Amino acid sequence: MRAVWVVLLGLSAVVVGLSTTDLVTPADRLRLKTALLGALDSNDITAVHYSVLGLGLLNEKPQKTDVICKLALSSATATGANSAPVLYHVVDTWKVIGNCPGSLPTNIAKDLSAALESEDSSIPNLYFAYQGLISLGQKPKDISKLAKNLQTAIKKDDSLLNLGYLFHLAALMGPAGKFAFDRIEDAIVQADEVDGKVLQFEGGISITALLVSGAYKLAAANEKKPPISGDQATKFANFFVSRKSVQSPKGVFSLLEVLHTMTSNKFHQPVVVTLASAAALTAATPQVSVRVSDLLGRSLGPLTVTLDTATRQNDGVVEMAKVALAAQQGDSTLYTLDLSSAKGKRGFYNLIFSVKPNKPDERLVGLTGAQVQVKMLGEVLVEVAELGTADADQTTAPKMNKVSYPSKANFVLEADWHQRLLMKFALKDKTTKEPITVHQAFVKLINVATNNEVIFVAEPDAGKSYRFDLDIGARASDFEQQSGKYRLELLVGDAVLGNSFSWQVGEVALTFTSGGSAPPLVDIQQIYKPKPEIKHLFREPEKRPPATVSTLFTGLVCVPFAILLILWARIGVNISNFPFSLYAIGFHLGLGGIFGLFGIFFLKLNMFTTLKYLLGIGAVTFLCGNKMLSKFAQNRRQR
């Protein structure tokens, strides 16, 4: 009744929600920093610029600033209609470094202004030109004209890339960029959902980060909440933290920039619940610690964290529900839970948490449904163990001897090829005293003289008792017929056992032949040497009959033809209707050739050669015969 009540309580307490269970850890920050530092040696000003910006988001300073300044200066020579992106990376890198010697060419501002005022500039070019002028400390002249150019450009091409740059540029333009706010919803509905937990745009981390961060910045500039729900913000956050292994400079910067945007905007702030302690618990140490923070691991202030349910996976029993976690002193992101109520029952547990801010905060999203998996380790004991032998034909009862775990048997068991080696044992949980089964239960026999090992699987029966039954004679090949003394060991392991073990049960003396001798050695080189080549052979022809028989048969075949000639000689031959044409002669010659080919086939040719010749002769005969018959039909119609 208690188990039923606990299950019902757990089912009523389950809160269905969506949450984020991963964040950028210190190890992730170090890996991202390493990727950015490595890109500083690039000769591409774009990669170097993104690396410098990314290091700034990590509160790190770039190295080799003199080399970076020289690269920026050498890249400042870019000109033309599409030079705005390169010039932006140049001037912004120069600005971020701050102490570069010399000065940039004076024509950069002119080129950026020309790109900004051009009606043919793409939306990305307009964004880079605007940002470049801001980095130079210059304010663009005609914002209203820029707004009109943007509206015209987005009507022509409202791709995701253009929408992303539009949001960022409109956020910089102030009131003149309000028109772009209504396009946020058009972009968000194009996101692809994966497994109900992740939202992303086609194009990966760069496009998704560009659109999401641009949407929040534009919403902040207009002081209006973006058309993004809390669940959508959580799903976007799940996508971003799943891409934290990105290595390209632009990808790293995009990731860091959007994470900073999502953790500092005033509309949505995803809550992250992660496991902060070891995933393996024991009855002696049942404490679980979880970290509740933002996507960058920073504190969200005083919170109330509650365990909604703790469900054991193997049977679905809810062991705990509605338990408040204790805040850990000295770290406002850590909260502790004591799972001692599970009473040490081994297994995997799904822990579902909910979070509630102590002070109302509508920004926080992903407050329910955070799931963490832990496992409670148990200990196993061997309750009963017996070792013995029986006749292979089962004519007599087995002779079994008890062995106490973890001691070794004080006798050497002897068995030959007429017998079976038997072992029975039962396992029980040390805490609950209940019989259990495990994932792995092996019996290993090790030859004392050669250390060769043979391993067998022990299978449980319906009563959870294990039995090992080895027919020595039938399995002699597994031991290579090597008689002698063997150590018998029992190996028990399981993912939720804290004391998996290997127990030497005892020793057995096995005899596989009457003399107990080992089989002769096999010449390995002889076994693996090349075999004779296999060649295809046609079937040998059947033995021909005697010449007398074949001559007689030939004569009988020729008799009808001889009769035909005799009759023609007596009654005469009418050949007046024979058309003396090339086709008629060709047909009759071809027909005669076919008969002649059949005769040669009978005497000496094989089928494949005959078919090859027949194909040519038959084609000529067919064409000539068709033409000859057509001529006959024509003559008959004319009469």
> Where does the pLDDT of residue 8 fall: very low under 50, low under 70, confident under 90, or very high at 90 and above?
very low
Residue-level pLDDT at 581: 82
- Asked if the model's pLDDT at residue 599 lies above 60, the reply is yes
Among positive and negative, which fits the CA dihedral 357, 358, 362, 363? negative
The domain 2-17+271-376 is classified under which CATH number: 3.40.50.300, 2.60.40.10, 2.30.42.10, 3.40.1160.10? 2.60.40.10
Question: Are the C-beta atoms of 488 and 506 separated by less than 8 Å?
Answer: yes
> Where does the pLDDT of residue 520 fall: very low under 50, low under 70, confident under 90, or very high at 90 and above?
low
- Asked if the model's pLDDT at residue 538 lies above 90, the reply is no
Question: What are the pLDDT digits (tens) for 297-323?
Answer: 999 989 999 999 999 988 888 988 999
Calpha distance 435→433 (Å, rounded)? 7
Question: Residues with Cβ < 8 Å from 575, sequence gap 6 or more?
Answer: none
**pTM, whole model, 2 decimals?**
0.71
> Where does the pLDDT of residue 261 fall: very low under 50, low under 70, confident under 90, or very high at 90 and above?
very high
432: phi then psi, degrees, rounded to nearest 5? -90, -15
Candidates 272, 273, 270, 264; CA nearest to 234 is 270
Burial zone of 327 (CB within 10 Å; 0-12 exposed, 13-18 middle, 19+ buried) = middle
Residue-level pLDDT at 5: 32
CA angle 565, 567, 568 (to 5 degrees): 65
Calpha distance 241→366 (Å, rounded)? 14
Mapped onto helix, strand or coil, the DSSP state of residue 48 is helix
Residue-level pLDDT at 268: 94
Calpha distance 558→388 (Å, rounded)? 89
Calpha distance 196→16 (Å, rounded)? 13
Q: How far is CA 349 from CA 24, 49, 428, in A?
A: 25, 47, 21
> Where does the pLDDT of residue 373 fall: very low under 50, low under 70, confident under 90, or very high at 90 and above?
very high
Question: What are the pLDDT digits (tens) for 615-627?
Answer: 999 999 999 989 8
Please compute the mean of the pLDDT values over residues 585-605 and round it to a whole number.
88
Helices (H), 265-302: none
Residue-level pLDDT at 307: 93
Please compute the mean of the pLDDT values over residues 491-515 and round it to a whole number.
88
| 20 DSSP 8-state letter | B
> Where does the pLDDT of residue 629 fall: very low under 50, low under 70, confident under 90, or very high at 90 and above?
confident
Please compute the mean of the pLDDT values over residues 426-446 and round it to a whole number.
91
Q: Which helix (H) or strand (E) holds 262?
A: helix 249-264
Calpha distance 565→596 (Å, rounded)? 19
Above pLDDT 90, what percent of the chain? Answer: 51
User: Average model confidence (pLDDT) for the chain?
Assistant: 87
Mapped onto helix, strand or coil, the DSSP state of residue 74 is helix
Domain with CATH 2.60.40.10 in the chain: 2-17+271-376, 380-519
Question: What are the pLDDT digits (tens) for 24-60?
Answer: 999 999 999 999 999 998 899 999 999 999 999 999 9
Residue 312 forms beta bridges with which residues? Answer: 349
Residue-level pLDDT at 528: 78
In words, the CATH class of domain 380-519 is mainly beta
